[in-house]
Amino acid sequence: MIFTLTMNPSLDRYLYIDELIPDDSIRVKETQEYAAGKGIDVSRVIKEIGGTSIAICPLGGSNGERMEFMLDNERVLYAAVRIKHETRMNIIVQSRKNQYRLNLPGKALSESEYEMVIDMLKTILRKGDTLVASGSLPPGLRPSVYGDIVKIAKSKDVRVYVDTDGDNLKEAVKEGPFGIKPNIHELSRLIGKEIKIEGVEKAAEDVAKKYGISNVLVTLGGDGSISLIEGHIYSMKPIKVKVKGGVGAGDSFLAGFVSKRDESIEDALRLASACGAAAVMNEGTTLSKKADVDRLIKEVELVKIK
């Protein structure tokens, strides 16, 4: 079974307008809301492409209840830890030319709420499962929480993939997760220096060797991806699509990869690339659509460098 963990989920509200004009009344043409958070996005994509996962997340208040309704509507399986405070909301204003993101702060988890999440992980994870731990942490939680999560997964003989940034990622890699999925900027911050595309291969090898990480999946935005899998390097060129948005492309990539990882590494990478490309074809947080993924997977150019 694949589990995803989102410690800091949010309800994303999109407001669509023509133009943002100072000191004027602005008519909102359309509103849309999504259950958001990197791990939740991974679970949503896995469901869309025909797989099964369970999204673990703390949810509270009316925003949390609405997110549960949305996940129910998408038939995404989830295990919610009910918390006291309202789940945070992000407001995204989308005009014809620009996007403005207003990320509202969330509330801290209490010690007992955090322990409930940890107890859930310890209870439901079984040998052979996969855990994807993604995104930021709520206020008050130390970065070493990610290291603790990795240790719990490894103690259960569970493959754990981490997709986060900054100190959270630095703490996670110390415990040797099975895989990480940084973009090139996150990888640069992890090793402490800026990396150009031609340096990604060596950086991935260095990180894998230093921390004992089997899978280092590096997404390069419009330049495709470079992945180190069990000592082998794979490169995938970008698939040419009309880009309408960039939200969730990395999450979609990771969803595709973990869905097929146990069957075939090369098939997993092809599906990952197709899912990532399909995500940018949609506005908002619609993410990948199966029909697009099925079409795009035929266009993936995969090269095994070594």
Does residue 285 register a pLDDT over 70? Answer: no
List C-alpha distances in Å: 198 to 104, 173, 194, 195: 37, 23, 12, 8
Bridge partners for 6 per DSSP: 134
**In this predicted structure, which of 35-39, 125-129, 287-291 has the lowest mean pLDDT?**
287-291
Q: How far apart are the C-alpha atoms of 56 and 68, rounded to whole Å? A: 11
Q: What is the CATH number of domain 2-21+28-304?
A: 3.40.1190.20
Q: Is the pLDDT at 91 greater than 80, yes or no?
A: yes
For residues 242 and 108, which has the higher predicted lDDT (pLDDT)? 108
Integer-rounded Cα radius of gyration of the chain: 19
Can you give the pLDDT at residue 92? 87
169: nearest Cα among 197, 135, 140: 135
What number of H helices and E strands is found in the chain?
A: 10, 14
pLDDT average, residue stretch 283-295: 82
Q: How confident is the model at residue 284 (pLDDT cuts 50, 70, 90)?
A: low
Q: What is the pLDDT of residue 131?
A: 98
Check residue 246 and give its pLDDT.
Answer: 67
> What percentage of the chain carries pLDDT values higher than 90?
75
- pLDDT, mean of residues 29-37: 90
Is the model's pLDDT at 152 over the cut of 80?
yes
Decide if pLDDT at 283 tops 80: no
Stretch 122-148: mean pLDDT, rounded? 95
Indicate the residue type of 6: T
Q: Give me the sign of the Cα torsion angle 90, 274, 299, 269.
A: positive
pLDDT tens for each residue of 218-230: 999 889 999 999 9
- pLDDT the model gives residue 23: 81
What pLDDT does residue 129 have?
A: 97
pLDDT in tens, 42-81: 999 999 999 999 999 999 999 999 999 999 999 999 999 9
Write down the pLDDT at residue 94.
84
Q: What is the pLDDT, as a whole number, of residue 213?
A: 97
pLDDT (mean) for 103-122: 92
**Percent of residues, the chain, with pLDDT higher than 70:** 98
**Residue 84 above 70 pLDDT?**
yes
pLDDT digits 0-9 by tens, 229-274 = 999 999 999 888 887 766 788 999 999 999 999 889 999 999 999 9
Mean pLDDT in residue range 131-153: 95
Q: What is the largest CA-CA distance in the chain?
A: 59
Model confidence pLDDT, tens digit, residues 20-30 = 888 888 899 99
- By three-state DSSP, how is residue 97 classified? coil
